Amino acid sequence: MHIITPRMHLVPATVELLKAELVSAASLSAFLGAYVPADWPPSLYDEKAVRWTIDQLSRPNADGRWYTHYFVLQSTTSAPDVVVGVGGYLGAPSPAGGVEIGYSILPGYQRRGLATEATVGLAQNAFLKGAKVVAAHTLEGDPASGGVLLNAGFKLVGPGTEAGTSRYEVAKAEWSSRPARAMSASM
């Protein structure tokens, strides 16, 4: 099921989509029905990440809603939709209700609010599906990524789990008490 935001559809990856991506950007484009720019993939998303997701989705009872999503910018003209980024979850919520998200946007589509929009969509979807806390990690010294999370309603809570990272979080109670976000519910 897609997560719908004002300008994008966040399309959950399937094993077939991921395998198509390993073949070529053109193959991914054909499977998604959207244009994949020549500079695909975005930073911090590589073949290792694709193969990790294939492994996760190939496990018995894997739920694809809790892994990678392709960020497809919906065209407002006759031009095709465009795959502008990728992100998602590192798995289903923990027994305590925590889930971690990540995201990456192609350079040509950065600074347009798309990462914030996708982050809001991912967090809202996680809360609708039972998560109690959504977390994300950024590289220290990456003000743009931290700004995305702050704009999406997260708070910096301290150092990340890996050296050189910072951890951001938002709890469902805090999320619910904020003004309505500009996105629709997931389909």
Q: Which domain holds residue 111?
A: 3-177
H/E segment holding residue 158: strand 155-159
How far apart (Å, rounded) are the C-alpha atoms in residues 45 and 36?
A: 14
pTM of the model: 0.92
Phi, psi at residue 178, to the nearest 5°? -85, 160
Residue 187 lies in a domain: no
How far apart (Å, rounded) are the C-alpha atoms in residues 182 and 51?
A: 33
Question: What is the signed CA dihedral for 99, 131, 2, 70, rounded to 10 degrees?
Answer: -10
How confident is the model at residue 183, as a pLDDT? Answer: 46
Tell me the pairing of strands 98-105 and 133-139.
parallel
Residue 116 lies in a domain: yes
Residue 50 lies in a domain: yes
Q: How many domains does the chain have?
A: 1
Residue 30 lies in a domain: yes
Q: What is the DSSP letter of 93?
A: P
H/E segment holding residue 61: none
How far apart (Å, rounded) are the C-alpha atoms in residues 126 and 118?
A: 12
Burial class (CB in 10 A: 0-12, 13-18, 19+), 137: buried
172, 142 in Cβ contact below 8 A?
Answer: no
Helix (H, G, I), strand (E, B) or coil at 78: coil
Q: What is the pLDDT along the chain (187 residues), one digit of tens a residue?
A: 899 999 999 999 999 999 999 999 999 999 999 999 999 999 989 999 999 999 999 998 888 889 999 999 999 888 899 999 999 999 999 999 999 999 999 999 999 999 999 999 999 999 999 999 999 999 987 888 999 999 999 999 999 989 999 999 999 998 877 655 544 434 4
Residue 183 lies in a domain: no
Residue 186 lies in a domain: no
How confident is the model at residue 179, as a pLDDT? Answer: 59
How far apart (Å, rounded) are the C-alpha atoms in residues 8 and 98?
A: 25
Look up the CATH number of the domain holding residue 13.
3.40.630.30
Number of neighbouring beta carbons within 10 Å of residue 37? 16
Residue 151 lies in a domain: yes
Residue 182 lies in a domain: no
